Chain A
Amino acid sequence: MSETFQADKVLDCSGMLCPVPVVKTSKAIKQIEVGQVLKMIATDPGAPPDMVAWAKNTRHELLDSHQEGDKFIFFLRRVR
């Protein structure tokens, strides 16, 4: 699948298990500016529902979520 979003920061959480990807995502989103995009890569099968819940609660925008092989790719825009 083609990447339609330009990432300002990439966070690779491959091999990490819940809750580490959400913790690292939470910290990483604070390191970019409002409006910028974080690309997060995870292999934890719990990551897709987790990132939907995380984005809903934090109100950051989950722009895209897709799978490439065994990796789950997320594009998140910092909203606030």
Chain B
Amino acid sequence: MSDDFDDFDEYEHKVLYVQTHGRDTPERSATPFFLATAAAAMDCQVSIYFTMNGPQLLAKGAPETIVVPKAGGGGKELRFFIDQAIDMGVRLLVCQPSLDLHGYTMDDMIDGVEMIGGAAFNGMALEADAVISF
């Protein structure tokens, strides 16, 4: 990925998460961000690929309205978990067909989201040390 490999980078692990769930299952929304953040803190290169219903979580306005539930009530806005992941350098990726599925364009996505295609996704999966799908 990076051209300037140093002694450390060549050992750096790559983890790719796949999020297929959207706003109808808020209890499934935060964990990929959570784990991705922890992996980034372990100095891994981390991306989350949002496909199927996943892009719903990244639509403008959604992170502030999706509340990650907690037993006994309350909970945190999904925005908190997204910001934590972005802050740690986690890349957030979507693909065109899964945007089309929901009538989204890239303009509907929150800041920081990148577009990739199916070939790029498969390339990343083949290159990753772990692919974890939700």
Which stretch from A15-23, A31-39, A65-73 is at the chain B interface? A15-23
Range class of the B interface residue count? 10 to 19
A25 at the interface (CB under 8 A from B): yes
Q: Which residues of A contact B13 (CB under 8 A)?
A: 57
A14 at the interface (CB under 8 A from B): no
Give chain A nearest CB distance to B11 CB in angstroms: 8
Q: DSSP class of B's interface residues: helix, strand, loop or mixed?
A: helix
Given the contacts A18-B38, A57-B13, A23 and B88 also touching, CB distance less than 8 Å = yes
B34 at the interface (CB under 8 A from A): yes
- B93-125 contact mask (Cβ, 8 Å, vs A): 1 or 0: 000000000000000000000000000000000
Q: DSSP class of A's interface residues: helix, strand, loop or mixed?
A: helix
Greatest chain B CB density within 10 A among A18, A53, A57, A80 is at: A57
Which A residues contact B (CB, under 8 angstroms)? 18-19, 22-23, 25-26, 50, 53-54, 57-59, 80
Give A55's nearest chain B residue, CB to CB.
B42
Which B residues contact A (CB, under 8 angstroms)? 8, 11, 13, 34-35, 37-38, 40-44, 84, 88
A-B contact pairs, 18 of them (CB 8 A): A18-B34, A18-B38, A19-B35, A19-B38, A22-B38, A22-B41, A23-B38, A23-B41, A25-B41, A26-B41, A26-B42, A54-B42, A57-B13, A57-B42, A57-B43, A57-B44, A58-B42, A59-B11
Give B87's nearest chain A residue, CB to CB.
A23
CA distance A18 to B38 in the complex (A): 8
Give chain B nearest CB distance to A33 CB in angstroms: 17
A23 and B42 contact, CB distance less than 8 A: no
Q: Which residues of A contact B8 (CB under 8 A)?
A: 59, 80
CA distance A58 to B43 in the complex (A): 6
